Structure 1
Amino acid sequence: MRSECQVPSAAADLELAAVTKAYGDTVAVDRVSLKVPAGTYCCLLGPSGCGKSSTLRMVAGHEFISDGDVMIGNTIVNDLPPARRGTAMMFQNYALFPHLDVRENVAFALKMAGTAKEERLKRADAMLAMVDMSAYASRLPAQLSGGQQQRVALARALITNPTVLLLDEPLSALDPFLRIRMRAELKRYQREFGISFVHVTHSQEEAMALADMVVVMNDGRIEQVGTPREVFNAPRTRFVAQFMGGHNVVTEGASAYAVRADKLRLSPLGDAEAGSSPATVSDVEYQGMTIHVALKRPDGTDLLATLPEHEFDRAPVAVGDTVGVAWHPHDRHELAA
């Protein structure tokens, strides 16, 4: 996260206070309160239907707020139209105008604001240079690749000098290789502009790679807010532990705790260490640098061990083997009820 001295004057905090969105009797967003400091890359993360896109659209002004307040800087923006909120939206499908060339697409918002043609095209050219798209200024969107279209959409959103850029699953339409490259570019642009990016995604990997702040949502509510490391290493609830992946959730009596899959140790049953318990191997999956070993304990609990390839090769196991499973007590992370 940037320090205050690095954040441009255009940047401002974004705050949601008990924001609610209801569609009749269905509550899509349930009293969400959140503060995103200026200059933060924030990812709203969760499964489909958890309320993350509705939250983003309420911030943008594309969705009516049923209750609560959205504040940008010192201004409550609930009743302001999207163009007056100081936000810009980058949509999942990029929403470029097919009949306008790249330069005119980027300049469109300035045209709507009444900026003179020479000035808006000059600013559009400067923005295209920033996203390395100057050579494509006269092309139509249909003549661009997915990654190039994304750069144009980003330039179009940023040309209005927004206080907060809102991104609705901007990488979901890209192939896996391009997705990795483009998320690095998004992070670089966020640092260069110094404004907050609020990015909706259902990808845990994407959120951890991009975010300063991860907001995990479930059923219209916030389950946990923290840095990627905090959310992954110290999940507060069973949902967060399971949704983030890489954790085993173990129930003992009325309590539950999480243990990371890479912290599990396997050993032959006859040589099992003290404190280990037996489990049967139900699947072995090769993942290159790691091997995923799925296990089932006699009480029906499913476990997953993630082993480095060299460690697995020293003591390989196969489906149907019974092994001892153990972990250090300090690798046990207690979960809220």
Structure 2
Amino acid sequence: MRGASVELVRVSKHYGNAVAVDAIDLHVPAGQYCCLLGPSGCGKTSTLRMIAGHETISDGDILIGSRNVSELPPAARGTAMMFQSYALFPHLNCLDNVAFGLRMRGVAKAERRERAAAMLRLVHMENYAGRLPSQLSGGQQQRVALARALVTEPSVLLLDEPLSALDPFLRVQVRAELKRLQAELGITFIHVTHSQEEAMALSDLVVVMNGGRIEQAAEARAVFTRPATPFVARFIGGHNVVDVPGGAGPIAVRTDRLRVLPGTVPGLIPARVAMVEYQGSFVQLRLDAGPLGELVAILPDNSFDAAPLREGEAVSLGWDGAEAHPLHGNNAPARVPVLEEN
């Protein structure tokens, strides 16, 4: 199998007067794992379905490799879709479920069963070939659906929230399996999710969507450490978005970089501890910073245990100057209270 690049050029989707996707541009290089990330209604599933050909585009073009596929039916695009519900045929066993797409393409019975068996081995489900979907766990059904999508040798695999029905422990296991398969096969994966953790763990390219538009598209570390907009900073999590009086615009400060000192320290931001939440290896503090609103600080559990804080206690907040990341592309230095390194 070989991956193909995917390019969207000013792609829009309208449902009557409602705009689901608003003139987006996106390039996914061949062989990359891309996650479309965002809240419900942001346009990520509509985007995926337009790439697959299950939704017509209202405007723009979709290119897979060097071909403009905007007007092609799903079967002619070189893509395969793995649905959120898995959509396995209940009356067919695992082997026949996987072979079904090849059967529809007229592949001879012996060949399609051989190729289906090879795909079941790839996803470690060869011992379940004769079972019906009702005899499988959710994670096993997910693997069979993945094998069925891959057996037609697509250049692009499209996944619509494939892990959402799994319990947290199994979700981590299957997530690792998806990453392994994508790296081993070298095809392009485009995966819709609302889980920030899922996108961070899987992606070569994270595309954060909001209101039908792309807020940021970058590799996972860049999206987390340097969010482009206040929405990205808040949605990805792990950041405080601060509008500091006298500053050059909103800034993002990571919650684990916010410094919290007991009492009142001149020149720093006065605040009060609103809530203390123990999270095992760390403690999360919710802090009432008056006109700046609620800020969050993450402290390692041993640091907090050495100098515990109680709800209602007065504290002072600051951060190292380099930790203030300007948003909206504003590169001017923010005039904010900072703590210099000792």
TM-score, normalization by structure 2? 0.94
Decide whether the 8 Å contact of 1:163 with 1:195 is kept in 2. yes
Q: Distance in 2 between matches of 1:275 and 1:67?
A: 53
Aligned residue number for residue 132 of structure 2: 140
Aligned residue number for residue 112 of structure 1: 104
For the residue of structure 2 that corresponds to 1:47, the secondary structure is coil
> Within the alignment, does 1:260 sit opposite 2:254 as a pair?
yes
Q: Distance in 2 between matches of 1:116 and 1:229?
A: 46
> Within the alignment, does 1:27 sit opposite 2:19 as a pair?
yes
Q: Which amino acid aligns with 1:282?
A: A
For the residue of structure 2 that corresponds to 1:160, the secondary structure is coil
For the residue of structure 1 that corresponds to 2:201, the secondary structure is helix
> Within the alignment, does 1:153 sit opposite 2:151 as a pair?
no
1:269 to 258, 263, 266: 263
Aligned residue number for residue 237 of structure 2: 245
Aligned residue number for residue 177 of structure 2: 185
Aligned residue number for residue 16 of structure 1: 8
Aligned residue number for residue 324 of structure 1: 316
Aligned residue number for residue 283 of structure 1: 275
More deviation, 57-66/248-257: 248-257
**CA displacement at 1:267 relative to structure 2:** 1.3
Q: Which amino acid aligns with 2:5?
A: D
**CA displacement at 1:179 relative to structure 2:** 0.3
**CA displacement at 1:14 relative to structure 2:** 0.6
User: Could you tell me the percent identity over the aligned residues?
Assistant: 61
> Within the alignment, does 1:40 sit opposite 2:29 as a pair?
no
Decide whether the 8 Å contact of 2:242 with 2:292 is kept in 1. no
Aligned residue number for residue 303 of structure 1: 295
> Within the alignment, does 1:170 sit opposite 2:190 as a pair?
no
Render the CA deviation track for 1:122-174: whole Å, top value 9, x for unaligned.
11011111111111000000000011001100000000000100000000000
For the residue of structure 2 that corresponds to 1:307, the secondary structure is strand
Aligned residue number for residue 211 of structure 1: 203
Q: Which amino acid aligns with 1:40?
A: Q
Q: How does 1:30-109 map to 2 (within 5 A)?
A: 30-109=22-101
For the residue of structure 1 that corresponds to 2:322, the secondary structure is helix
**CA displacement at 1:91 relative to structure 2:** 0.4
Q: Distance in 2 between matches of 1:222 and 1:75?
A: 23
Q: Distance in 1 between matches of 2:278 and 2:150?
A: 43
**CA displacement at 1:240 relative to structure 2:** 0.3
Decide whether the 8 Å contact of 2:139 with 2:170 is kept in 1. yes
Decide whether the 8 Å contact of 1:89 with 1:157 is kept in 2. yes
Q: Distance in 2 between matches of 1:107 and 1:298?
A: 62
Render the CA deviation track for 1:85-106: whole Å, top value 9, x for unaligned.
0000000010000000000000
Aligned residue number for residue 340 of structure 2: none
Decide whether the 8 Å contact of 2:243 with 2:292 is kept in 1. no
**CA displacement at 1:298 relative to structure 2:** 2.6
Q: Distance in 1 between matches of 2:239 and 2:228?
A: 12
Q: Which amino acid aligns with 2:277?
A: E
Decide whether the 8 Å contact of 1:275 with 1:326 is kept in 2. no
Decide whether the 8 Å contact of 2:244 with 2:292 is kept in 1. no
Structure 2 unpaired stretches of 5+: 330-342
RMSD: 1.0
For the residue of structure 2 that corresponds to 1:120, the secondary structure is helix
TM-score, normalization by structure 1? 0.95
**CA displacement at 1:300 relative to structure 2:** 4.9
Aligned residue number for residue 332 of structure 2: none
Q: Which amino acid aligns with 2:44?
A: K
Q: Distance in 2 between matches of 1:325 and 1:300?
A: 11
Q: Distance in 2 between matches of 1:324 and 1:277?
A: 5
Q: Distance in 1 between matches of 2:316 and 2:20?
A: 44
| Equivalent pairs, count | 327
**CA displacement at 1:227 relative to structure 2:** 0.7
